Structure 1
Amino acid sequence: MRQRVVRVAVTAVLVALVLLAVPLALVIRSSLYADQRDSLERAALAAAVRVNPDYRSGDPAELPPPATGERLGLYDPQLTRHAGDGPAHGDAAVRRALRGLVAHTQTGSDLVVAVPVPHDETVIGVVRASSPVSTVRNHVFLGWSALLGAAVLALTVAVLVARRQARVLAAPLEDLSRHSRAVVEGDLTARAAPSTVPEIDQVARTHNDMLHSLAELLRHERDFTANASHQLRTPLTGLQLTLESGLDQSDAQLRPVLEEALTSARRLHHTVEEVLRLAGSPEPAHRAVPDRLVTQLLQETEQRWHGLFARDGRRLDFAVQDAPADVRVPGGPVAEILGVLLDNARAHGHGSVRASVRDLDDALAFDVSDEGTLGIEPALLFDRGHTGAGNGGTGIGLALARDLAASLGGRVVVSSGRPTTFTLLIPVHREDSVQ
C-alpha cells in the first residue's frame, strides 16, 4: 500500500509539473528573447537621437558606447556603414528601416534591430543594433535550469510528503494485518490499536467487536463441551462401579448382561475422552499415541458391531487377514471413526457391509463399504448438520469422523460411490511398530 500511495502522489505531482513547467519554459524563452530585442531597440533609438544630420557631408557621427555583447552601426541610404560596428553593407533589416519602419529580425547568429534616423520627414540613415543569439540562449538555459531545479525540489518534497502520508495510512492497516495474523495463529486476545485515521479506526473497531463476539462464542462452546463431558464422567464412573460390583454377585445369568453393559459404559467413557481430546487439541501436532495393534482393534470392532448387524438381518464381514500384525494405531480415535462409518453403513447403506485394511507402507487404509449407491455429492456428506433428505440423522457423525481423522494427520474420503465405500487413511510411522 505504501508504494501505491507514493506512486499516486508522484504521478499527480509529475502531471502538475508537466502542465505547469512546459508552458512556463516557453514563457521564459519568449520573454528573454523579447527583453533582448527591447534592449537592442532602446539602444538603437538612443543612438539615432544623437546622429548629426550633416554626417553625410563629413561631420563626425557619434554613437553611444554599446552595452556588453551588443554592437551599434550607422548606415546611410546607400547601405554603407559610416560609423560603429556591423557588416560593411546594410542587410535586409537596414533596407526595411530605410522605409521608415523599425525592423526586428534574426540574421545568422545575431538578433538585429534596425531603427530609421529621420530628418525633415526623410530617412537620412539607419542605426543597426545587434547581439549574439547565444547570449540570449544561455540566459534561456539558465532560466530553464532554475525551473528544472524548482521542479526537482517540488518532486522531492512531494515524495517525502507522500512517503510520510503513506506511513500514516499504511501503519494502522499493517498493525491490523498483524493482529489478524495473530488471530489466525490462535491468539484470540489480539486487538487492533486505534490510529489517527478515522476510517481505519472504524474498521479496527469492527474487527475487534467481531473478534470479541467470536471469542465469546468459542468460549461458550468450549464451556458447553467441557461441562457436558464433566457431567457425563461422574454418572459413567458410577455406572461402571455399579456394574463391576454386580459382577461380584453369584448370579450366573446376570453376569453376561452386566459384562456387556460394563463394556458399553467403558466404550462410552472412551468416546467422551476422544471428544474432549478433539475439542482441546485441534492441531494435528497433538496426536493420540499409537497404543493398539490393528488386528486387535479390528477384532474388537467386529465383536461390537456383529450383533447389531445380525439383529437387522444384514451381514458384516471383517477382512482381518490382510491387516498388518505388527503395526499399532491410536485405538480410541480409530475405533470411534470406524464406529461412525459402520453406523452410517447400517443406517443409510444397503445389503452386506465389508470392512477391510490395506497396507500402503507409510499409511493404512481402512475401507468400509456396503451394497448401496451414493445419491448425493460426496463433499456434502462431511458438512456438519447436513443429513440428506429424510434420513433422520443429525449430520454430526461423518463430520466428527473427519475431524478425528484430521487430528491424527489422516483423512476420511468417499473412495467409491457405487458401491458406497468410505476410506479412512491413517499415516503409520514404522518406528511405532512392534519389533
Structure 2
Amino acid sequence: MRRWLVLLVAATTSLVLIALLVPLALLVRTVAESGAVSEAEAEADSVAVAVGALDVETLQLTTERAAHPVTVFLPGGQVVGAPAPRSAAVELAARGRSVTAAVPGGREILVAVQGAPGGTAVVRVFLDDARLTRGVTQVWIGLGALGLALVGLGILVGDRLARAVIRPIMSLAKVSHRLAAGDLSARTVPEGPPEVHAVGLALNHLAERITGLLAEERENVADLSHRLRTPLTGLRLEAESLGDPEEAARIEARVDALERAVTAVINEARRRAQGRAECDAAAVTGARVAFWSVLAEDQGRDFTLDLASGPLPVAVAADDLAACVDALLGNVFAHTPEGVSFSVRLESAEGGTLLTVSDAGPGFATPAPLERGESGAGSTGLGLDIARRTAESAGGSLSLGTSPQGGASVVVFLPAVSA
C-alpha cells in the first residue's frame, strides 16, 4: 500500500507539473522570439533613417557594424551590406509596405524606406533560428530540472505521509493477529489519521468486549453447578423415602428437572447471538413455586403465593427467570431451618414487574452479600448473583432487605417487554 500511495503522489505531481511547465516553456520561446524580432526591427529602423542621409560607402560601413546581417536594397537595383537574394517579400516591401517573412533558416525583417533618391529602398535584417531561440534551451533545461526536483520532493513527502498512514494500520494488524492467537491483553495505541484512529478505538473496544464475553461464559459455567444443585437436592431427599413405585416416579421427575436445568444452560449460551427473549412472569413463577411446594410440604414449611392477574410479560427468557426463582427459593431452603415459612409475591410495577421472595429466617449474614462467591453462610455465593445477573441482563435490578417477619427479603425488578 505504501508503494501505491507513493506512485499515486508521483503521478499526480507529474500531471500538475506538465500542465504548468509545458505552457510556461512555450511562453518562454514566444517571448524569446518576440524579443529578437523587436531588436531586429529597432536595428532596421536605425539603418532606414540613415539610408537617405548617407552615401553608399558610409551606408556600407553602417550595415557592417550592425549586430545582425543587414542588407539595403536601393531603388536603382544596387545592394549594400550582406549579400541576400531579392525575394518576393523584398519586392512586396519595395512597394512601400514593411513586412516580416519566414525564410529557410530563419526570418527576415523588411522595412520600406520611402523618399529615398530614385524611389523606395528596402532595409532587410536577417534573423537565423539560433538568434530567435537564443537562451530558450537553457531555460527549458532549468524548467525540466525544477520539475524533476518537485517530483522528487512530492515523492519524498508522499512517502512520509504513506508511512504515517501505514504504521498505525500495521499496528492494528499485529494487534488483531495477537487477539486471534488468544492474547486478549493485546491493545493498540490509536494514532494516525482520524479514520485510522477511530478503527484503533473500535478494535480496543472489540477486544474489551471479547474479554467481557469470555468472562461471562466462565461465570455461566460456574452457574451450571449451582443450577444442578437444586434438582439434585430434591433427588437426594426423595431417595430417602423410596419404597413404592410412586416414590420412584417422583425420583424420575427430579432427574427430569436436572436434565431441564442442563438444557437451559446450553440454550442460554446459544441465545447470546439472538435478540432479547421474553416470557410470562406469572406463568413461570407459578410453575416454579408449584415445583418447590412439594419440598416445602416435606419440610413443614408454610408458604404464601401472591400472583398478580396475568399475563405479565417481561424481557427475560423463561429458562432464565425459572433459574432466578429456583436460586432465590433454593437459598430459602438451604439457609433457613426446616419449618420456617416463606412467601413469594409477583406484582405489576411501573415499567415492569416486581418479584419479591421473603422468609422468616435469620436474615442475611452479611450486610450486602451480592459479591459473586461471597455468601457469608458457607455456600458458593452464586444464588443471589444468578438472580442479579438475570435482572441486570434485561435492564432490571435486584435489592436486598428485611422481611416483615425479620428474615431476608429479595426484590427483583424485571422490565416489561418494549414495544
Q: TM-score, normalised by structure 2?
A: 0.50
- Cα distance change, pair 232–148 in 1 and its aligned pair in 2 (3 A): same
- Cα distance change, pair 182–138 in 1 and its aligned pair in 2 (3 A): farther
Counterpart in 2 of 1:162?
Answer: 158
Counterpart in 2 of 1:14?
Answer: 14
Tell whether the 8 Å contact from 2:10 to 2:155 is kept in structure 1 after alignment. yes
Q: CA deviation at 1:158?
A: 1.1
Matches within 5 A, 1:98-117: 98-117=94-113
Tell whether the 8 Å contact from 2:98 to 2:110 is kept in structure 1 after alignment. yes
- 2:96 equivalent to 1:96: no
- 2:125 equivalent to 1:126: no
Q: Distance in 1 between matches of 2:55 and 2:178?
A: 100
Counterpart in 2 of 1:71?
Answer: 69
Q: Distance in 2 between matches of 1:164 and 1:199?
A: 18
Q: Distance in 2 between matches of 1:75 and 1:229?
A: 124
- Aligned AA for 1:111? R
Which among 183, 193, 197 is matched to residue 189 of structure 2? 193
- Cα distance change, pair 166–228 in 1 and its aligned pair in 2 (3 A): same
- Aligned AA for 2:55? Y
Tell whether the 8 Å contact from 1:93 to 1:113 is kept in structure 2 after alignment. no
- Aligned AA for 2:71? G
Tell whether the 8 Å contact from 2:48 to 2:111 is kept in structure 1 after alignment. yes
Match of 2:111, SS state, is: strand
- Cα distance change, pair 170–80 in 1 and its aligned pair in 2 (3 A): farther
Q: Distance in 2 between matches of 1:163 and 1:144?
A: 28
Q: Distance in 2 between matches of 1:35 and 1:101?
A: 22
- Aligned AA for 1:100? G
Counterpart in 2 of 1:207?
Answer: 203
Matches within 5 A, 1:258-277: none
Tell whether the 8 Å contact from 1:43 to 1:66 is kept in structure 2 after alignment. yes
- Aligned AA for 2:36? Q
- Cα distance change, pair 171–60 in 1 and its aligned pair in 2 (3 A): closer
Question: Deviation digits for residues 201-255 of structure 1, max 9, x if unmatched?
Answer: 112111111110111111221343356469989x99xx9xxxxxxxxxxxxxxxx
- Cα distance change, pair 77–194 in 1 and its aligned pair in 2 (3 A): same
Q: CA deviation at 1:142?
A: 2.2
Match of 2:122, SS state, is: strand
Matches within 5 A, 1:32-431: 32-53=32-53, 55=55, 61-63=60-62, 65-67=65-67, 70-82=68-80, 84-87=81-84, 89-119=85-115, 124-137=120-133, 139-225=135-221, 228=224
Question: Deviation digits for residues 148-203 of structure 1, max 9, x if unmatched?
Answer: 11211111111111111111122111211111111111111111212142221112
- Aligned AA for 2:158? A
Question: Deviation digits for residues 347-398 of structure 1, max 9, x if unmatched?
Answer: xxxxxxxxxxxxxxxxxxxxxxxxxxxxxxxxxxxxxxxxxxxxxxxxxxxx
- Cα distance change, pair 185–77 in 1 and its aligned pair in 2 (3 A): farther
Q: CA deviation at 1:34?
A: 1.7
Q: Distance in 1 between matches of 2:224 and 2:77?
A: 121
Q: Distance in 1 between matches of 2:58 and 2:2?
A: 80
Q: Distance in 2 between matches of 1:201 and 1:122?
A: 91
Matches within 5 A, 1:23-34: 23-34=23-34
- Aligned AA for 1:203? V
Match of 1:63, SS state, is: helix
Q: Distance in 2 between matches of 1:164 and 1:108?
A: 53
Match of 1:106, SS state, is: strand
- Aligned AA for 2:87? D
Question: Deviation digits for residues 63-91 of structure 1, max 9, x if unmatched?
Answer: 26222xx2122221255422x2232x432
Counterpart in 2 of 1:386?
Answer: none
The runs of 5 or more residues in structure 1 that have no matched partner are: 240-435
Match of 2:123, SS state, is: strand
- Cα distance change, pair 222–80 in 1 and its aligned pair in 2 (3 A): farther
- Cα distance change, pair 182–53 in 1 and its aligned pair in 2 (3 A): same
- Cα distance change, pair 16–78 in 1 and its aligned pair in 2 (3 A): farther
Counterpart in 1 of 2:352?
Answer: none
Counterpart in 1 of 2:358?
Answer: none
Task: Count residues with an aligned counterpart.
Answer: 254
- Aligned AA for 2:105? S
Match of 2:62, SS state, is: coil
- Cα distance change, pair 121–204 in 1 and its aligned pair in 2 (3 A): farther
- Cα distance change, pair 190–106 in 1 and its aligned pair in 2 (3 A): same
- Cα distance change, pair 231–25 in 1 and its aligned pair in 2 (3 A): same
Match of 2:75, SS state, is: coil
The runs of 5 or more residues in structure 2 that have no matched partner are: 236-419
Tell whether the 8 Å contact from 1:74 to 1:81 is kept in structure 2 after alignment. yes
Tell whether the 8 Å contact from 1:79 to 1:94 is kept in structure 2 after alignment. no
Q: CA deviation at 1:14?
A: 2.1
Tell whether the 8 Å contact from 1:100 to 1:123 is kept in structure 2 after alignment. no
- Aligned AA for 2:42? R
- Aligned AA for 1:25? A
Match of 1:144, SS state, is: helix
Counterpart in 2 of 1:383?
Answer: none
